Amino acid sequence: MAVVTEGASAGSPPALGTRVSFLLSQLGLQSARTFAAGLAPLGLNPNRFGLLIHVARAEGQSQQQLAETLGIHRNAMVSLIDDLEARGLVERRRHPRDRRAYAIHLTERARELLPEASRVADEQEASLLADLAEDERQTLRDLLSRLSAGSGQRADVHPGYREPASTE
Amino acid sequence: MAVVTEGASAGSPPALGTRVSFLLSQLGLQSARTFAAGLAPLGLNPNRFGLLIHVARAEGQSQQQLAETLGIHRNAMVSLIDDLEARGLVERRRHPRDRRAYAIHLTERARELLPEASRVADEQEASLLADLAEDERQTLRDLLSRLSAGSGQRADVHPGYREPASTE
DNA sequence: TATTGTTATACTCTATAACTATA
DNA sequence: TATAGTTATAGAGTATAACAATA
């Protein structure tokens, strides 16, 4: 699916391509797809990576806790953890104080994989910003951070997107 | 679905939230969802709006031509045009020189709707940039435009995203 | 023989409700 | 009575192949 957006009214006015919101959406989706492509050789995707990061921050959380942090339903967390477990990246251990719940822990393999995934992100960041001077990069980072903070986004929590289906 | 992304390796290093690529993806998805919510009262969504814009640019194009411009398969264009036709926004007319093809035209209703949709986009743009000074807005627009141009994006063509399902 | 539009199919992702076992 | 995790279901979106009409 692709969408064109530009030239406002039938008359022809302001091109959407000059709007910050359009550029953010366009570049954001491309960044996500590029990241997905870069993670693929590691057997990861942005969703798996993001969840692993959150497991790593505090091991032993329940699925319910992880779901609340990510802003999704606990039902959806089941298959996400199923997926990571099947790939040998997390373990479901008995929760020490609640026999209904699991305590989710990283495996050794996940601990090896996370730095590699971060390196992929760093390389793509450098490639994305290759045409900008250092002061321009810092300015861009600053402006985007302010937009993010001002728009009520939880820092470091991505609102979520599907895995891009096709190649790229 | 939601995804968290931050703190790189298990050690804790560079937060993904400080990366431009993460901020673009986060803000871009939020912009798209906000735009979808704003268009909903008009019976539009970003996909429909984008396609209408492209029909408006050159009326009488075939479905195949529109599909090529948007970078999607002609099969997918069928249901998009079905959808717009059912809403009374486009008409399938006989193509003057090829009896296999349709010539896609806007209806009067679509001509009324397009300026309203552009107004929604303008209002949201203003809201998004409310915290920035005028020179900062221009700087941001310029930097994002350069990233977009440098990354091989076709100007004014969005790489596509699904209609956000939930409320947002 | 190629092209335009169409349909059918399978696959994925999502959202909801309902179930079990514990608390 | 509420909560953690699970399963089943239905819906939306996408991708592919195959078809009829026309070039």
Distance A81 CA to D6 C1' (A): 12
Is the predicted pLDDT of residue A5 greater than 60, yes or no? no
Q: Is the pLDDT of residue A35 over 90?
A: yes
| Domain span including residue B64 | 44-146
Q: What is the pLDDT of residues A90-99, one digit of tens each?
A: 999 999 999 9
- What does pTM read for this prediction? 0.88
How does residue B168 score in pLDDT terms, banded at 50, 70 and 90?
very low
Residue B32 lies inside a defined structural domain of this protein: no
> pLDDT band at B152, cuts 50/70/90?
confident
SS3 A166: coil
Nearest-Cα residue of chain B relative to residue A69: B4
Measured between beta carbons, the chain B residues lying within 8 angstroms of A14 are 118, 122
In a domain? residue B26: no
- B131: CATH: 1.10.10.10
Query: What confidence tens digit (pLDDT) does each residue in B59-82 have?
Result: 999 999 999 999 999 999 999 999
Q: Which helix (H) or strand (E) holds B105?
A: strand B102-106
Residue B35 included in any domain: no
* Percent composition of chain B: helix, strand, coil (DSSP 3-state, to 5): 60, 10, 35
Is the Cβ pair B8, A140 closer than 8 Å? Answer: no
Percent of chain B with pLDDT over 90: 77
Picking from B130, B50, B11, B5, the residue whose alpha carbon sits closest to that of residue A53 is: B5
* Residue A85: inside a domain: yes
Q: Within a domain: residue B20?
A: no
Whether the beta carbon of B1 falls within 7 A of nucleic chain C: the reply is: yes
Least confident span in A48-62, A132-146, A148-162, B78-92: A148-162
Nucleotide nearest to B80 (CA to C1'): D13
Find which of A12, A16, A23, A26 to mutate to test the B interface (most B CBs within 10 Å of its CB): A26
Q: Which of B4, B130, B115 is nearest to A154 (CA)?
A: B4
The reply to whether A136 falls in a domain is: yes
The two structure tokens encoding residue B51 = 């396609």
Domain count along chain B: 1
| pLDDT band at residue A38 using 50, 70 and 90 as cut-offs | very high
Rounded Cα gap, residues A108 and A127, in angstroms: 30
Across B123-129, average pLDDT:
97
Closest CA to B103 of B56, B65, B57, B61: B61
Position B7 in a domain? no
Q: Which residues 45-74 of chain B have a CB under 7 Å from nucleic chain C?
A: 62-65, 67, 74
Does pLDDT of A7 surpass 70?
Answer: no
pLDDT tens per residue across span A109-127: 999 999 999 999 999 999 9
